[in-house]
Structure 1
Amino acid sequence: MEFLRWGVLGASKFAIEHLTPAIQLARNNSFKALASSSKEKAAAFVQLEPEIEIYRSYEELLADDRINAVYIPLPNTMHVDWTIRAIKSGKHVLCEKPIAMRAKEIDELIKLRNTTGLLVAEAYMIVHHPQWIKAKEIVQSGVLGDLIQVDAVFSYNNQADLENIRNNSNMGGGGLPDIGVYTLGSVRFVTDQEPAAIRHVDIKYENGVDVWALAAFDFPKFKFTSITSMRMAPRQEVTFQGTDGFIKLTAPFNPLVYDKAEIIKRMNDGTEEIFSYPGVSQYVNQIEAFSDAVLNEKTYPCSLEFSQGTQAMIDSIFDFSST
């Protein structure tokens, strides 16, 4: 049986809590190596998987021919560089979001993917959760009537953790790079539409990073509003409002952590239906989808082109606010 043999570049908290456990649980995948200069941080990964190889540099891990897939959870400003290096080392790459700081930077990744035949993707896990597949099915079925308005909110408060890289402008911090990919990308995933114009932007900055942002877009057939914040109480919600009914995702981005995954569907006649998805790990699903694409030539649901489209929306928000 073929396996993907994963190496991880960087001993991030997210990697130890979510992605490496997912690799261990996913079929046809194994966690084989970690690159980290911190012995203390590496020790936590050894407890998780005692037989992993520990490298003190990223270059050493990339030179290991036994590793055929790499996960990159490095600071945002390092994503493109190390994704390129991993591709040139012959590795399939799953890179944390945002995979780039500007949409145009993804052009080089697409070029390298096309010339090498390697799978290169952003770790956009929500498209692997069945609640989003169901949301897409409902909206595109037309049962809600004409789609009029979509609203997405994602917030948390890390003001007490100013050392966090999300509060560091030099590391590519900010709410939009961190969580804007979810509010903005999810509407594109469900509707298969691209924004026609950006109508309004309001951003609050602290120390060079966006800590609150509101953006309003016109899509060809509906309006869309996104709110992201690193200075508000935790909240996650996405609503698709049609002429005949609406659906609301109550834990759209981090189910199991934020709240239980549910879609509430309510129609004009008062009927209501609730779709629940207890115990689903979108991270395990993501790793299995990645390995299925590599080993079994199945289509991976989040292409670099999709990621580039979402990053283009983030770019447009920052560009609009600076004019």
Structure 2
Amino acid sequence: MELKRLLFMLISLLAISLFLVACGSDDSEVEGDADSNSGDGGEATEEAPDFLSILTGGTSGTYYPLGGEMASTITDATGIQTDALSSNASADNVIALQEGEAELAFVQTDVIDNAVNGVNAFEGNKVENVQAIGSLYPETIQIVTTKDSGISSVEDLAGKKVSVGAPGSGTYINAEQILEIHGMTIDDIDAQNLDFGESTGGIQDGNIDAAFITAGTPTGAVEGLGATVDVSIIPIAEEKINDLVEKYPFYAKDTVKKGTYGLEEDVNTVAVLAMLAVTDDVPEDTVYEITKAIYENADSMAHDKASLISLETALDGIGIEVHPGAQKYFDEKGISAE
């Protein structure tokens, strides 16, 4: 009897030992799996890219030189080699982002709004992979001609040779909308698809009469024209500005100040905002660092327009989704859209 009791105790102890070993083995496997899923115990993060490209605009506009300085700032701050590339500007830049040809691009707020909503130039081609980093500075719509051209109003452009921007540019869309508010269409002018440098060169040579130029003022190409001829900027009447803003809220009233290009008085016009867009597949941490680099180092950029890049206005005019990386930075700084 005593032997049976002893044997029973030994079997029970063995069973308990085997159970504890099995439990220990399961715990180890679970812990090992957890470690392999989370790396160092934190959330998995996407790997930062080795290179980034920023699409800008024509070499004689504002986007290209400012984009070059911005690319250098991003490279220095993040360690990611970033290059600024010349392009046909806003609309073409959005398509290039859509097709994965670059990661970052300068665009106008009105153009990106059209793109994500699939309207105007983007009818039937809704762009779904592009998000915002932030606004940069106002872009003034300048209708440029010469003092002796005889053109003093938008209506006077009828029948004239007028540059409406490079094909695919936001300037073209601005020209369409401004003409529309004046009861005109592109067909009412002899439209020329020229970039800024070609536009001012054409005015200087007498090959065209006027040009729509959407860019921060002063614009280099227009300053160059002003060195050889007396520049005139065609004003937009107050009531037409109000009509335009009412129909297209991404516009705002603006002024080309007296003294710019040798102007003798202020000229009323409108502006949209230049902004930086990014594809949604750029990692959140990378976009956070890009956003921080731009808004904390704008004062070290030499271009005149860099002085207008401000954290306080970074979300002005942004009507599309902000990239989570940029949003994280703005949230930390207490910046929200008005």
Q: TM-score, normalised by structure 1?
A: 0.33
Rg larger for: 2
Looking at secondary structure, tell me which structure has more strand per residue: 1
Looking at secondary structure, tell me which structure has more helix per residue: 2
Q: TM-score, normalised by structure 2?
A: 0.32
Higher relative contact order (CA 8 A, sep 6+): 2
